[in-house]
């Protein structure tokens, strides 16, 4: 555990330094900043609750428009004549951000800086919060992997470094902080760690803790509910094992369900405030428009935000998953179903690319369970013959370099002529500086 802890401390310090340098010269409430568009929508609960009593008239002038309209001041509640603070995003991220918001508010008071919830310290707070949960999630992934496998520590740490540098995980840790994915990544890592290494089906308290984790996970990103069953019963070999576990401990699982529901009370109260009813679909006309014709090729291979196109290292992640399936390793089939399920889910959504993003951010939270598959494959490569090993490791390094170059040149959104604009992608890859 000590080498893993030291690795995470050293890596975390470096990543926080990089994050601050990236955002240091960025203006607040700017499309590159930590409180803008979707990120502002997740965040607005905190200033609304603690500073402005959910009263739009008390907010800074035009802050909804200058923050990219991640939240709006509108008359969405037919029972109220006044405007409300409207955000379609759930409050889970804000709950996890709350301690950092409080610390920042105290800091601003002490240093006589604006305490309006939108000044520069509040932006930097979001970088720190996203970094903190991302690094804590990474530590839990490594701890779980080390305790559950016979992999050497050096293999785990080298594989982790390659994965981090070669995928969009680093992009959302340091460059585009503030979205829900880092928080989901942490909660999935915590869920797997707790469920596989701590959970005792005979202890009622463990069901309470499991409900807390799952409740937060779904509240942070409701779409995660599709995969909750897969994660809650992680490590079980057969479906009938899961059924037996539920039936034998039915009362405790009902308690678990009640705890999960309790986490939705703040969201239901917000819906009553914003819409005049406790149950509401806040996303309006945004639906699974392509469910009859899912854009799977786009999700995996498009130059705009394609998962494999912009994270070519995931070829080795998929190889690790297939290897686990072929060797009948624990959770191999679950990982394969997870990749296909995530791809199909977002391929059916009206905006398959999820707006501005890099390397398809819909997969990022599931790196908590996909990273181990990559490291298993990496360990397999290290055991190959010298020529095979050299070739594959060289290919890995090339993929890492491609991903880092794309990340460094990417300006938060895709500016190409449609999702298959190869010229735009090559410009990002080959030109020394390419930021419009």
Q: What is the pLDDT of residues 135-158, one digit of tens each?
A: 999 999 999 999 998 899 999 999
3-state secondary structure at position 240: helix
Which DSSP category does 174 fall into?
Answer: I
Same domain, yes or no: 310 and 427? yes
Is the confidence at residue 332, as pLDDT, over 50? yes
Distance separating alpha carbons of residues 414 and 412, to the nearest angstrom: 7
Distance separating alpha carbons of residues 164 and 155, to the nearest angstrom: 14
> Residue 127: pLDDT band by 50, 70, 90 thresholds?
very high
Domain that holds residue 328: 152-176+285-436
Q: Is residue 302 part of a domain?
A: yes
Q: pTM value?
A: 0.95
Same domain, yes or no: 434 and 330? yes
In angstroms, how far is CA 122 from the centroid of its own chain? Answer: 20
Same domain, yes or no: 212 and 296? no
Same domain, yes or no: 167 and 190? no
Number of compact structural domains in the chain:
3
pLDDT of residue 433: 56
pLDDT of residue 432: 72
98-104 mean pLDDT:
97
> Residue 237: pLDDT band by 50, 70, 90 thresholds?
confident
The domain boundary residue, chosen from 267, 282, 297: 282
Same domain, yes or no: 166 and 186? no
Same domain, yes or no: 169 and 227? no
Same domain, yes or no: 304 and 350? yes
Q: Is residue 289 part of a domain?
A: yes
Alpha-carbon dihedral of residues 162, 165, 168, 172, nearest 10 degrees? 130
Q: Is residue 130 part of a domain?
A: no
97-122 mean pLDDT:
96
Q: Is residue 222 part of a domain?
A: yes
Which of 6-20, 45-59, 111-125, 239-253 is least confident?
239-253
pLDDT of residue 177: 87
The domain boundary residue, chosen from 247, 265, 282: 282
**C-alpha angle 129/130/136, rounded to 5°?**
90
Cβ-based neighbour number of residue 331 at 10 Å: 21
Same domain, yes or no: 82 and 93? yes
Distance separating alpha carbons of residues 207 and 397, to the nearest angstrom: 43
> 247-250 long-range CB contacts below 8 Å, 24 or more apart?
248/201, 249/201, 249/202, 249/207
- Which segment, 17-21, 354-358, 395-399, is predicted with the most confidence on average? 395-399
Q: Are 88 and 40 in contact (CB under 8 A)?
A: no
Tokens at 242, concatenated: 């899961």
Kindly report the average pLDDT of the chain as a whole number.
93
Q: Is residue 104 part of a domain?
A: yes
pLDDT of residue 436: 44
Alpha-carbon dihedral of residues 142, 172, 170, 221, nearest 10 degrees? 30
Q: Is residue 29 part of a domain?
A: no
Is the confidence at residue 373, as pLDDT, over 80? yes
Is the confidence at residue 435, as pLDDT, over 80? no
Is the confidence at residue 434, as pLDDT, over 50? no
Is the confidence at residue 30, as pLDDT, over 90? no
370-385 mean pLDDT:
95
pLDDT of residue 33: 87
128-135 mean pLDDT:
96
Is the confidence at residue 116, as pLDDT, over 90? yes
Same domain, yes or no: 322 and 431? yes
Distance separating alpha carbons of residues 153 and 66, to the nearest angstrom: 47
Which DSSP category does 77 fall into?
Answer: -
The domain boundary residue, chosen from 233, 256, 282: 282
Helix, strand, coil percentages in the chain from 3-state DSSP, rounded to 5:
65, 0, 35
């Amino acid at each position: 555990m000590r080498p893993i802890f030291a690795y995470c401390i050293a890596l975390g310090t470096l990543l926080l330094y990089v994050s601050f340098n990236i955002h240091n010269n960025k203006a607040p409430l700017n499309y590159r900043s930590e409180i803008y568009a979707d990120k502002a929508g997740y965040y607005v609960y905190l200033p609304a609750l603690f500073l402005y009593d959910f009263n739009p008239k008390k907010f800074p002038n035009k802050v909804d428009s200058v923050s990219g309209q991640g939240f709006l001041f509108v008359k969405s509640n037919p029972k109220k004549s006044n405007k409300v603070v409207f955000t379609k995003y759930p409050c889970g991220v804000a709950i996890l951000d709350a301690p950092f918001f409080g610390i920042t508010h105290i800091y601003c008071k002490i240093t006589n800086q604006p305490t309006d919830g939108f000044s520069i310290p509040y932006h930097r707070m979001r970088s720190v919060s996203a970094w903190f949960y991302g690094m804590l999630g990474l530590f839990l992934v490594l701890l779980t992997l080390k305790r559950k496998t016979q992999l050497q520590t050096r293999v785990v740490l080298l594989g982790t470094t390659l994965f981090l540098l070669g995928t969009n995980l680093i992009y959302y840790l340091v460059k585009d902080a503030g979205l829900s994915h880092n928080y989901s990544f942490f909660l999935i890592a915590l869920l797997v760690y707790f469920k596989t290494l701590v959970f005792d089906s005979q202890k009622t308290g463990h069901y309470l803790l499991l409900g807390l984790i799952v409740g937060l996970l779904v509240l942070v990103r409701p779409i995660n509910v599709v995969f909750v069953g897969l994660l809650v019963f992680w490590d079980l070999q057969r479906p009938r094992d899961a059924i037996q576990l539920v039936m034998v401990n039915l009362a405790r699982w009902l308690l678990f369900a009640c705890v999960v529901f309790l986490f939705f009370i703040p969201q239901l109260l917000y819906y009553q405030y914003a819409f005049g009813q406790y149950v509401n679909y806040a996303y309006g006309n945004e639906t699974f428009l392509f469910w009859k014709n899912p854009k799977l090729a786009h999700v995996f291979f498009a130059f705009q935000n394609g998962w494999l196109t912009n994270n070519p290292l995931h070829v080795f992640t998929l190889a690790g998953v297939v290897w686990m399936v072929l060797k009948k390793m624990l959770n191999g089939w679950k990982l394969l179903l997870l990749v296909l399920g995530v791809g199909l889910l977002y391929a059916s959504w009206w905006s398959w690319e999820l707006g501005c993003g890099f390397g398809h951010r819909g997969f990022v939270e599931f790196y908590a369970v996909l990273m181990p598959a990559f490291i298993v494959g990496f360990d397999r490569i290290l055991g190959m013959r010298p020529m095979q090993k050299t070739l594959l490791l060289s290919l890995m390094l090339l993929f890492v370099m491609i991903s880092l170059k794309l990340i460094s040149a990417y300006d938060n959104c895709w500016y190409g002529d449609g999702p298959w604009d190869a010229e735009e992608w090559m410009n990002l890859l080959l030109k020394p500086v390419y930021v419009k």
